[in-house]
């Protein structure tokens, strides 16, 4: 099973600032990585797939990068609606599909 | 637009079973597989299993194998997950989600169904 590890667990950021979230895989997942946003009480929402491709309707301030075992999600200028929990998920080798533990982006 | 609408909150006693439904609309049901993902309180998302909506073939996470059954009714555009021999550790929100068809990330999600197991 591929283990996904996200850091930091919590990120405190002021509105308008940049946020950088990390995701590491226990073995290479190539570019088969997705990022999701989950607001309180809501289902996750797909942000990024293929490590760097924004999903339909996702603002350009969200960008993904990386390949192999190291990945980054960057939110260039945080808006109020961006304060949420973010998860990465690998789909290179399954079953099982696996998620990271999440990074909570909170208001500083 | 694509919608996945799940059945409502369930409260069950330990040892009981529960069946959660996921009704799809806005696309042809057999165009996409359906996955089930669990989120226990304060925990990460956990993939439970998958059903090919055309063939009915299933794959399960080893963690849930034996305690979970995923089925579908193509005439009703609905997928189901049944959990048996419930324990308090099964208390969670259960989500259904579709994959893109080519790659296995989740592009549409149901609203989630809370299952509470308590004596």
Please list the rounded mean pLDDT of every run of 10 residues in chain A (108 residues): 97 96 98 97 96 97 98 96 97 96 95
Strand order across the beta sheet in which A62-67 lies: A4-7, A19-25, A70-75, A62-67
**Nearest residue to B82 via CA among B17, B8, B15, B22:** B17
The whole-angstrom distance between B55's CA and the closest CA on chain A is 18
The whole-angstrom distance between B87's CA and the closest CA on chain A is 22
Q: Coil, strand or helix: which one is B88?
A: helix
Q: What is the mean pLDDT of residues B100-109?
A: 89
Instruction: Collect all residues of chain B within an 8 Å Cβ-Cβ radius of residue A102.
Output: 44-45
Q: Coil, strand or helix: which one is A2?
A: coil
Whether B88 has its CB under 8 Å from any CB of chain A: the answer is no
Tokens of A54: 């924004």
Residue A38 vs residues A31, A43, A105, B78: alpha-carbon distances, Å: 22, 6, 11, 24
Residue B100: pLDDT over 80:
no
Residue B102: pLDDT over 90:
no
B54-82 confidence digits (pLDDT tens)? 999 999 999 999 899 999 999 999 999 99
Q: What is the mean pLDDT of residues B27-46?
A: 94
Look at residue B101 in the predicted model and tell me its pLDDT: 78
Tokens of A58: 């996702």
Q: Coil, strand or helix: which one is A94?
A: coil
- Chain A residue closest to B6 (CA)? A43
Of B62, B104, B107, the CB nearest to A97: B104
Whether B59 has its CB under 8 Å from any CB of chain A: the answer is yes
The whole-angstrom distance between A17's CA and the closest CA on chain B is 26
Beta strands B18-25 and B3-6, pairing class: antiparallel
Look at residue B26 in the predicted model and tell me its pLDDT: 94
Q: Which of B37, B44, B94 is the best residue to mutate to test the A interface, defined by the most A CB atoms within 10 Å of its own CB?
A: B44
Look at residue B9 in the predicted model and tell me its pLDDT: 98
A41-72 confidence digits (pLDDT tens)? 999 999 999 999 999 999 999 999 999 999 99
């Amino acid at each position: 099973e591929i283990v996904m590890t996200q850091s930091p667990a919590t990120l405190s950021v002021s509105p308008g600032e940049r946020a950088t979230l990390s995701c590491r895989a226990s073995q290479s997942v190539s570019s088969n990585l997705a990022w999701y946003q989950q607001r309180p009480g809501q289902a996750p929402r797909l942000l990024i797939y293929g490590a760097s491709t924004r999903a339909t309707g996702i603002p350009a301030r969200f960008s993904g990068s990386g390949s192999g075992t190291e990945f980054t999600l960057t939110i260039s200028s945080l808006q109020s609606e961006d304060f949420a929990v973010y998860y990465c998920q690998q789909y290179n080798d399954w079953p099982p599909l696996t998620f990271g533990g999440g990074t909570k982006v909170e208001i500083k | 637009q694509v919608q996945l609408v799940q059945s409502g909150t369930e409260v069950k006693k330990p040892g009981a079973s529960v069946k959660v439904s996921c009704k799809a609309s806005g696309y042809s049901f057999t165009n996409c597989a359906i996955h089930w993902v669990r989120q226990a309180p304060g925990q990460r998302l956990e993939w439970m299993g998958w059903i090919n909506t055309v063939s009915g073939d299933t794959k399960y996470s080893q963690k849930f194998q034996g305690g979970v059954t995923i089925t579908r009714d193509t005439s009703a555009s609905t997928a189901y997950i049944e959990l048996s021999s419930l324990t308090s550790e099964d208390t969670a929100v259960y989500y259904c989600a579709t994959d893109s068809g080519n790659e296995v990330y989740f592009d549409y999600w149901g609203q989630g169904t809370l299952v509470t197991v308590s004596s």
